[in-house]
Amino acid sequence: MCILEDRIIEIEHLIGQGRYLEARTLTQAAIENSSNIRLQQLHALALSKGGMPGQAKEFLEKVYKDHPEDAETAGILGGIYKTLFKQTENSDFAIQSRDTYLKNFTSTRNYYTGINAATMSSIAGQARKGREIAQEVIATIGEANSFWEIATLGEAYLLSKDPQKSLEHYQKARQLAGTDWGKVSSVHNQLWLISHYMNVPSDILKIFNPPAVAAFVGHMIDRPDRSSPRFPSSIEPAIKAAIKAAIRSNKIAIGYCSLACGGDILFAEAMEEEGGEVNIFLPFNKADFIRESVAFAGEHWVARFEDLMNRHAVHFVTQENYDNHSDLFSMQSKVVLGSTILRRSLIHSDAYLLSVLSDLDFSRLEGGTRDNMSLWPFQDKIINISPNNYLAASGGEASGSSGNKLITPSSSRPALYTLVIDTEKTDEWEKVEKIIRGAFEAAVVPPLACSTIEARLIIGFSTLRALWDFVLLLGKTKGINPSELRLSINGGPILLDDFHEKEIVKYKVMSGGHVDAALNEHQFSMPGICIALSPIAYELPLYKVEIELLSRVHMEKGEVVEVYKILT
């Protein structure tokens, strides 16, 4: 019994951390040998939160039939029906959600299931029933103290057609939420859902308007040997003040950036000083990044870098060495932009691209900077702060040319986007692989490399756009059954060998740490679903590809990988 209890606690912990795939693996094994109802509930939760609410519904309905009086099962099943309603807009799911939530509320008097029963009634077109349940919720809570109690009363009074009391409670809840954007976005998303089915006063909607999100790109502080100034240290205070002004005027409270000396660090510090959330991305290992992008400007910049690293969330595109591969910077920039768009879609807010680029650099935007910024889908929300506006006061003249020498990479190790494909029908793999390889000729941009490793095909593309176009092509290829394929998207620096100049696919051998990681993380793939692994998954929204978090997974070396399901 003790072993079972420990396993249940472990699974609850995994679900609480968003590690749904790991939780599902444990529950799947456990329910084969036990009919414990808590294990069954957790299995349904892991399925639903892990992107499979349909399977969760089928599983838990059988459990609920055997335990119709169990309030916890009813509450979980109500949530699954609600998820299915959001996905399909089928009112039958709204009614089923309301009924199961209501049964839970009647039994437990839990205000959470009560308010959900009231809201789902209103959404299903049964406003009178919704008001009745909402009034019961108000009576159940009584004197509210916590954020969630007060926010629930705001929703209950809204459903009861008492906008003034609703407004008062929502205002109080917003004050308690402060800068907890998780709470703010949760209430906003609920109000956003309700507003599609009943009138929500604008003064209530705007209380929980989510903060704007911003991605940042910009120049580093000038190197000591730069012949003409572009971003000298003398204008640093003025640039930081301008960044702060842009943050305030556009109500930006969530930022994504790298952490090079100059613009990046100034943006991160400004966000921090304004009480915002900072998310940092580095293109390769920390020591190399400091050497290439921070240390040349002086030890005080290194100290500021370290301080920010210690206080905020940091993500590495790769932990490998730099080795003069500048394409890693481009990959990182796209991940920063895509992460910002993804966050915007999750909280339904505005997204800005804030830059610090000289007039010349901003107008011509050559190479990677131009290509990356052109991907930004909200061209009317690009704010550039030009150092030129401050150079005259400091006695310098603007220059767009860095004067840096072109550095040759130390090895043939481009940053590639990888697609791993296999099928559960191993007896048909040779036939399937031949068809996939034949599709290379029809690709708009063919892959650069391809290898077969242990009955899995790993294909390397120079851009994520080219990879995604190929995935779409496979779905239309004769002889391919997409429901039988398992596909996973990853990426990073890849070692290439066995060059064939005259063939469509130039390299036949792919190796290195990122190949090993891509093959290992392919274990999370499922038939008929294309998944993408972080941080490369964050870039997909740049190409209008919708993704949904399936799970967070703790790998053997301690790193956390997020697994996304592609919805498009």
pLDDT of residue 397: 54
Q: How far from chain centre, in Å, is Cα 81?
A: 24
Q: Is 2 buried (19+), middle (13-18) or exposed (0-12) by CB count in 10 A?
A: exposed
Q: What is the DSSP letter of 541?
A: G
Tell me: the pLDDT tens digits for 62-117? 999 998 888 889 889 999 999 999 888 898 999 999 999 998 898 889 999 999 99
- What is the DSSP annotation of 34-59? ---HHHHHHHHHHHHHTT-HHHHHHH
Q: What is the pTM of this model?
A: 0.83
Residue 3 forms part of a structural domain: no
Report d(CA 275, CA 177) in Å as an integer: 14
Residue 456 forms part of a structural domain: yes
Q: What is the CA radius of gyration of the chain?
A: 26
Q: How far from chain centre, in Å, is Cα 211?
A: 17
Residues β-bridged to residue 489: 419, 532
pLDDT of residue 20: 87
Report d(CA 228, CA 400) in Å as an integer: 9
Q: Which amino acid is at 120?
A: M
pLDDT above 60: residue 405? no
Q: How far from chain centre, in Å, is Cα 99?
A: 33
Per the omega criterion (within 30 degrees of 0), is the bond before 535 cis?
yes
Grade residue 558 by pLDDT with cuts at 50, 70 and 90.
confident
Q: Give Cα separations from 341 to 44, 353, 485 (angstroms).
A: 30, 10, 29
Q: Is 175 buried (19+), middle (13-18) or exposed (0-12) by CB count in 10 A?
A: exposed
Residue 323: which domain range?
A: 212-394
Phi and psi at residue 498, to the nearest 5°: 60, 70
Strand residue runs (E) in 128-251: 212-218
pLDDT of residue 223: 93
Residue 403 forms part of a structural domain: no
What total number of domains does the chain contain? 3
Domain co-membership, 266 together with 133: no
Residue 181 forms part of a structural domain: yes
Residue 11 forms part of a structural domain: no
Residue 281 forms part of a structural domain: yes
pLDDT of residue 440: 96
Grade residue 133 by pLDDT with cuts at 50, 70 and 90.
very high
Tell me: the pLDDT tens digits for 279-335? 999 999 999 999 999 999 999 999 999 999 999 989 999 999 998 888 999 999 999
Grade residue 366 by pLDDT with cuts at 50, 70 and 90.
very low
What CATH number has the domain bearing residue 248? 3.40.50.450
Residue 543 forms part of a structural domain: yes
Domain co-membership, 450 together with 483: yes
Work out the mean pLDDT of the chain and round it to a whole number. Answer: 90
Q: What contacts 303, CB < 8 A, 6 or more positions away?
A: none
Residue among 113, 42, 121, 34 nearest 85 (CA): 121
Strand residue runs (E) in 357-494: 382-384, 415-423, 449-453, 456-461, 485-493
Domain co-membership, 374 together with 260: yes
Residue 41 forms part of a structural domain: no
Tell me: the pLDDT tens digits for 36-47? 999 999 999 999
pLDDT above 80: residue 361? no
Can you tell me whether residue 312 is helix, strand or coil?
A: coil
